[in-house]
Amino acid sequence: MRFRLTLACVLLALSTVAAQEAPRTWRLDFFQTGGPGTEVYSFDRLVVEPLAWPGNPAANVEPRPTGNYRFEVIDASGKAIFSRGYDPAFAEWVTTAESRKVRRTFGDSLRFPALTGKAEVVLRKRDAGGGYDEVWRHAIDPADPFIDRSPPPRQQAIEVERHGAPQAKVDILLLGDGYTAAECGRKFRADTRRMVNALFAQEPFRSRRTDFNIWGLCPPAAQSGISRPSTGVYRRAPAGSSYDAFGAERYILTFDNRAWRDIAAWAPYEFVTILANNNTYGGGGLYNVFSTAAVDNDFADYLFVHEFAHHFAGLADEYYTSPNVYEPPDTIVEPWPGNVTAERDRGDLKWRDLLAPGTPVPTPWPKQEFEALQKTIQARRVKLRADNRPESEMTALFREELELTTTLLSKAEHAGKVGLFQGANYDAQAFYRSEIDCIMFTRNRVPFCRACQRALGEMIDRHTR
């Protein structure tokens, strides 16, 4: 499909939603500060974004609680008129060792349709038992003269793929970061097309393609690429993305919330993936916030799809042998994502209706052989990064790993069956996944497991029906 410049596209989108009397998009920017003995929330500003609310009005209130954080907009009668679960960077940071030593402040945003009357925004945090505690409340009066109605600097969006009005579709924004003005032309468009094709090659996205609109934005950067502090590379990328988030060399995030939100405001979006203009392996995904992927890496297709699944449906990582920066939980509780579990009882499993007849629970798999292989691979991976070897050597290692793990897992007795396979969610013992392999488990060329496909499909349904 041809790319078309956004000014015309956005005007078309605006005229469509205007005909349906869609409200404007409001955004509450705020700060979260945490550290030893501290957790504080403070108001920054309430912003009126330049475009109409792109979401399905029928999906304003979540059917069930999701995320480690969630917010509700409560009207004057006490009714929740909007709710969303999400997992901000702050929620991850508080599980790291650093959070026990220093205080840090993170910017964040809550987006919702414009209000016509007074209301309160209530923020809740998931507690140790899996419930929610209120942690912050902020009152909103639409007549407040200090609501910021000024538009941010205009950006030219691109209509990558459009199948209908934003309100009736899932709207995804691909936001380029670290592209120079010259690269924002042909390169960004080619990168965007590759990532879109990778997403729609996988189920359930392939079968539901017409339920999506894809938009692109590429604010020009002064230098090509993004920061990678562990190697002494620093860039002032427009959206602020960088490697080494929380000390993990492959983890790409942005902590410049105002910057990327103001850029993104010029496209209709519910979900955002930041395309980092780099070839070093890396990415990240925060549920209902954003995801990232290094587009020039040889595994960019996998990175884009894997990280988007975190962002879009809150799917958990199913791997557990790669190093991570998170401290183990003090208490094991049932995770909320639909693709991992701590449950061992067959009749209580989230995916019990998907279980293959006769499959034992827990399900045997070559776990020891896999872990021995991964121990060797991870040691070599760490050394390659410590020695600052060329990315081609890391790619060669990953290809070797892919061949070995594919052979091992595909020949297992219960390969391709839904069961209960021990090892998931960064833990070798406490958590389980539904299939022996999945996009959320390895870089192997396999589809999403059926539990993941169902969770992804349910999210598509929620935004389109």
What confidence tier does 361 reach under pLDDT thresholds 50, 70, 90? very high
| Tokens linked to 373 | 């292989």
- Class (C level, CATH) for 23-140: mainly beta
Assigned CATH topology for domain 157-317: Collagenase (Catalytic Domain) (3.40.390)
pLDDT value at residue 20 = 54
Q: How far apart are the first and last CA of the chain?
A: 25
11 token code pair? 């005007």
* Per-residue pLDDT reduced to its tens digit, 377-412: 999 999 999 999 999 999 999 999 999 999 999 999
pLDDT exceeds cutoff 60 at 17: no
Per-residue pLDDT for 7 more than 60?
no
The pLDDT value given to residue 10: 45
Q: Answer yes or no: pTM beyond 0.85.
A: yes
Stretch 434-443: mean pLDDT, rounded? 98
Provide the pLDDT for residue 356: 84
The residue behind tokens 């990778």 is 198
In this structure, the number of other CB atoms found within 10 A of the CB of residue 156 comes to 16
SS3 category, 391: helix
pLDDT at 465: 86
The answer, yes or no, to whether residue 19 has pLDDT greater than 60, is: no
Cα–Cα distance list, 307 to 60, 166, 304 (Å): 24, 23, 6
> What is the β-pairing status of strands 271-276 and 290-294?
parallel
The pLDDT, as a whole number, for residue 12 is: 43
Predicted pLDDT at 327: 67
Q: pLDDT higher for 249 or 130?
A: 249
pLDDT in tens, 219-260: 999 999 999 999 999 999 999 999 999 999 999 999 999 999
Structural domain boundaries in the chain: 23-140, 157-317, 340-463
